[in-house]
Amino acid sequence: MFEKLAVAAVLAVAAPVALAAPMVQQLADNVYMMSEFHYVSLVVVGEDGVLITDPAFTPRAQSMKAAIAGITDKPVTRIVLSHEHYDHVGGTEVFPDAQVICHASCQAVFDLDVSGAAPGNVDVTFTDSLTVDFRGPTVNLYYYGPADGFGSAVVHLPEARVAFTADLYEDRSLTHGMWMDDDNYLAIRRVLQELRKMDLLHAVSSHSDDTSVRIVDENAAFVEDLFNLVGGAIGKAMQEGGPRQVMMSMSMWPQELKLPQYADWKGYDEHLPTHVRRMALSIFHGG
């Protein structure tokens, strides 16, 4: 218990305490995006209540609640968590009328939480897909594999042509290596392919105010090039000496394999080796 309280105290100090107003952008009828403290959420207004994604942590959830009151007097009744990572899932207690929705694999991770950030219970789970019925714009949740964390959800609003994902890509920038440990590149590849099929107007990502579909297209191309580069090296090593050759070669690839066409992306020199390593492990042993 002491350990749990100590960690919670550290997080409480680290979290912003002053309430500010989130940046609010309307994406379609009854569909909004709210951005504050470097986290972005969807806010979708239905006849029975409001659906939000990722309140993230308590002060941000309080600020969102105040901003939502400026849009509608309906309560938040659905909270969709994009994945189980604790920095995305706090603050649900600010919305006591809401059902918490997360992929079926989330609860097992929440049960391990010592920070106090995870919600106590997930009210609604899904495995492959779920349509959230709150008499509002259609909101479909899809699971395409453990892209970032075990329970990565894709939130798709087909009439609004909006999708929301968390932590899967950045804009002409390679995600810092320290955030890559929990990434499965084959699932990220699949998510990006599915996003491209959705014919979106807005591709919302959890830490960016830019919803341009271009960013999805560019990252899908990057991941495909990385897949072909690393997959080619694995195939060649398999032919030469089987799995043993792959295992011997794998430690060299992060330094050897390059994608110079992306050299102008931020973080290329520093973080490409980690992305190569993640892709190699995702292809060769599944995670």
Q: Which residues bind Zn ion (CB under 5 A)?
A: 167, 206
The smaller minimum CB distance to Zn ion, of residues 206 and 274, is found at 206
For the CB of residue 97, give the shortest distance to Zn ion in the complex, in Å: 26
Least distance (Å) from Zn ion to the CB of residue 139? Answer: 20
Residue placing its CB nearer to Zn ion in the complex, 42 or 246: 42
Q: How far is the CB of 163 from Zn ion (least distance, A)?
A: 16
Q: Write down the least CB distance from residue 87 to Zn ion, Å.
A: 6
How far is Cα 228 from Cα 127, in angstroms, rounded to an integer?
A: 29
CB closest to Zn ion, residue no: 167
- Cα separation of the two ends of the chain: 32
Q: Give the whole-angstrom CA distance, residue 136 versus residue 44.
A: 8
Show the tokens assigned to 131.
């349509």
Nearer to Zn ion, 166 or 246 (CB): 166
* Closest among 154, 136, 164 to 39, alpha carbons compared: 164
Q: Dig out the tokens for 141 from the structure.
A: 């949740």
Closer residue to Zn ion, CB minimum distance, 72 or 105: 105
Q: How far apart are CA 201 and CA 184, in angstroms?
A: 26
Residues 128, 132, 133, CA angle at the centre, nearest 5°? 140
- CA gap 121, 51 in Å, rounded: 18
- Residue nearer to Zn ion on the CB measure, 207 or 266: 207
CB of 80 within 8 A of CB of 155? yes
CA distance 89 to 10: 17
Taking the complex as a whole, the smallest distance from the CB of residue 237 to Zn ion amounts, in Å, to 34
Beta carbon of residue 38, minimum distance to Zn ion (angstroms, whole number): 9
**For Zn ion, the closer CB: 145 or 231:** 145
